[in-house]
C-alpha cells in the first residue's frame, strides 16, 4: 500500500503510527536543530570571511610584488638614462678636447712655419736692406761728415766697396 502521508508506516500489513514526542522534547529538539543550523551558518560565514581575507592578502601581495617590479624597472631606466647622459657628456668632452687639440696643433704649426720663414728672412743682406729702409723713412735729413757715423760702421765699409768696385 502506498504511503498516505500521515506519518504512519505499514509493517507486514499492519499499520503503525509514528509516535509523537511530547511538545517539550519536540521544542528542545527544534531549538537544538536551529542552534546547530545557526552554528553551521556561523562556521560557514567564518570560513567565507577567512577565504575572503586570504584572497585579499594574496591580492595585496600580488599588488606589492607588481609595484616592486615597477619600481625596479623605473630604477633600471633611471640608471640607463644616467649612463646615457654620462656617455653623451664623455663624447662631447672628447669632441671638445679633439677640437682644442686641433686648434693648438694648427697654431703650433703656424708658429713653426712663421719662425722658419723669419729665419730665412734674417740674412745679412735683408737686415742691411731693412736698415736702409729705416733710414730712408726718417723725416730728418742729415748733411755733413757725421752721416757715416750715424749710419754705422757697415755703411761706411759698403761705400768703400762700392767705390773700389765691389770688394
Answer yes or no: are the C-beta atoms of 51 and 41 closer than 8 Å. Answer: no
Cell numbers at 62, concatenated: 600580488
Q: Which three cell numbers stand for residue 125?
A: 743682406
CB 15 within 8 A of CB 9: yes
Reported confidence tier of residue 139, pLDDT bands at 50, 70, 90: low
pLDDT at 87 > cutoff 90: yes
Q: What's the mean pLDDT in 75-79?
A: 97
Please give the model's pTM, rounded to 2 decimal places: 0.41
pLDDT for 38-67, tens place per residue? 999 999 999 999 999 999 999 999 999 999
Residue 7: pLDDT band by 50, 70, 90 thresholds? low
Looking at residue 167, its pLDDT comes to 43
| Confidence grade of residue 166 (pLDDT, cut at 50, 70, 90) | very low
Task: List Cβ neighbours of 21 (8 Å cut-off, separation of 6 or more).
Answer: 29
Which grid coordinates belong to 160? 768703400
Per-residue confidence band for 32, with pLDDT thresholds at 50, 70 and 90: very high
- Quick one: pLDDT at residue 10? 74
Whether the CB-CB separation of 18 and 7 falls below 8 Å is answered with yes
Amino acid at each position: 500500500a502506498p504511503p498516505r502521508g500521515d506519518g504512519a508506516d505499514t509493517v507486514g500489513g499492519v499499520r503503525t503510527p509514528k509516535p509523537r514526542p511530547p511538545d517539550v522534547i519536540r521544542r528542545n529538539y527544534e531549538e537544538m536543530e536551529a542552534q546547530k543550523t545557526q552554528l553551521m551558518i556561523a562556521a560557514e560565514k567564518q570560513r567565507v570571511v577567512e577565504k575572503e581575507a586570504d584572497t585579499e592578502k594574496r591580492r595585496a601581495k600580488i599588488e606589492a610584488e607588481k609595484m616592486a617590479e615597477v619600481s625596479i624597472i623605473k630604477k633600471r631606466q633611471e640608471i640607463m638614462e644616467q649612463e646615457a647622459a654620462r656617455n653623451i657628456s664623455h663624447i662631447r668632452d672628447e669632441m671638445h678636447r679633439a677640437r682644442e687639440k686641433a686648434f693648438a696643433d694648427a697654431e703650433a704649426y703656424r708658429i713653426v712655419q712663421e719662425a722658419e720663414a723669419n729665419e730665412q728672412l734674417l740674412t745679412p743682406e735683408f737686415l742691411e736692406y731693412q736698415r736702409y729702409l729705416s733710414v730712408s723713412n726718417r723725416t730728418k735729413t742729415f748733411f755733413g761728415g757725421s752721416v757715416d757715423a750715424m749710419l754705422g760702421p757697415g755703411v761706411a765699409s759698403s761705400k768703400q766697396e762700392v767705390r773700389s768696385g765691389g770688394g
